[in-house]
Amino acid sequence: MVIAHLTGAATVNPLTAPISDYAWIPGGYLMVWFSASLLAGCGVILAHRVHRAAKLWPELRRPLRWVIGLLISFTVGLFVSGVLPTDLPEAVSPTVSSMIHRIGAGWALIALPAAGLVLAKAAPDVLLPGHSARLLTVARWLLYGVLAGLVVHFTLFLIFGSGLPGFGLFERIGFGVLIQHVMLLGLAFGNQSAAELNAAAAAAEERLLRTEGGLVEIAGAVPCREHRGELTEHLTERFDPVRDQVGDSRGVLDHPADDQTVAGPRRPPVTGPQGR
């Protein structure tokens, strides 16, 4: 995008013209498409990270599903806006391609901060300590600013036939904050080591044992033998993807079946650096 701004400085006014107008300078379409695809790829990576966190935090699965949905819609909207160009600046009436482009770009500016807002408010435990407050602040400023700007822009367009003065500058500031938000989301998840993944997976299994009743010891009751196979199968099905990440292919129960005791979920330490 820096190259596009420098190349098109003589023909595209950055204060009034939208970023998509750089598609009409020589080589500009590829630069706009590549920039949009790069950000869309970041959205896919973030959605995968949230999906992996949902397996480690079963009790937070519902809000994390909303986050995943918003991140996927952000990815689709941004990719579509990069593939379908806007109209030429001298175009009188908008084409279908231009309308889809504008809707996709506008939705991308809304969906990403909305995902960060839901993540920071409803599931801060999945983030590294100290990142949720910063993420919440940036998400609020970006989301409320984009909504206010779009409402004013379309209101002026419907009343006077021209949009927000300085819309180009507004759009560039919005996308600059959006890129910062993508970076904050990536830093908030961090790059956990194998030991940290082991600890998170063990804690997730422990929480599952406590919350999903009927198969574990509750108020001094000992589960009967026929429940042990069900418990093992349940936890294996739930946490197999986690074991794939940390290199643990052993079963949940370490000891043979016994009428009186059931071994707690244990996970041997993983050697070697593994991370997200």
Tens-place pLDDT, residues 190-218: 765 555 656 666 666 666 666 555 444 33
pLDDT at 130 over 70: yes
pLDDT at 263 over 50: no
Region of poorest pLDDT, from 122-126, 150-154, 188-192, 213-217: 213-217
Q: Of 20, 31, 32, 119, which is closest to residue 71 (Cα–Cα)?
A: 119
Q: Where are the domains of the chain?
A: 2-189, 193-276
Q: Of 17, 276, 56, 11, which is closest to residue 166 (Cα–Cα)?
A: 17
pLDDT at 233: 47
Burial of 224 (C-beta count, 10 Å sphere; 0-12/13-18/19+): exposed
* 177, 138 contact by CB (below 8 A): yes
Q: HEC states along the chain?
A: CHHHHHHCCCCCCCCCCCHHHHHHCCCHHHHHHHHHHHHHHHHHHHHHHHHHHHHHCHHHHHHHHHHHHHHHHHHHHHHHHHHCCCCCCCCCCCCHHHHHHHHHHHHHHHHHHHHHHHHHHHCHHHCCCCCHHHHHHHHHHHHHHHHHHHHHHHHHHHHHCCCCCCHHHHHHHHHHHHHHHHHHHHHHHCCCCHHHHHHHHHHHHHHHHHHCCCCCCCCCCCCCHHHHHHHHHHHHHHHHHHHHHHCCCCCCCCCCCCCCCCCCCCCCCCCCCCCC
pLDDT at 212: 53
pLDDT at 37: 92
Q: Using 50, 70 and 90 to split pLDDT, how confident is the model at 108?
A: very high
pLDDT at 244 over 90: no
pLDDT at 23: 85
pLDDT at 191: 66
Q: Cα dist. 110→10, 70, 113, 233 in Å?
A: 31, 9, 6, 41
pLDDT at 258 over 60: no
pLDDT tens across 45-104, in order? 999 989 988 888 878 889 999 999 999 999 999 999 999 988 887 777 778 888 898 899
* 142, 181 contact by CB (below 8 A): yes
pLDDT at 230 over 50: no
Q: Which residue has the higher pLDDT, 110 or 89?
A: 110
* 178, 213 contact by CB (below 8 A): no
pLDDT at 264: 46
pLDDT at 220: 37
Q: Which two tokens stand for residue 41?
A: 């790829």
* Single-letter amino acid, residue 236: T
pLDDT at 196: 60
Highest mean pLDDT among 24-33, 161-170, 204-213: 24-33
> How many angstroms separate the CA atoms of 227 and 235, rounded?
12
pLDDT at 227 over 50: no
Region of poorest pLDDT, from 46-50, 178-182, 209-213, 245-249: 245-249
pLDDT at 232: 44
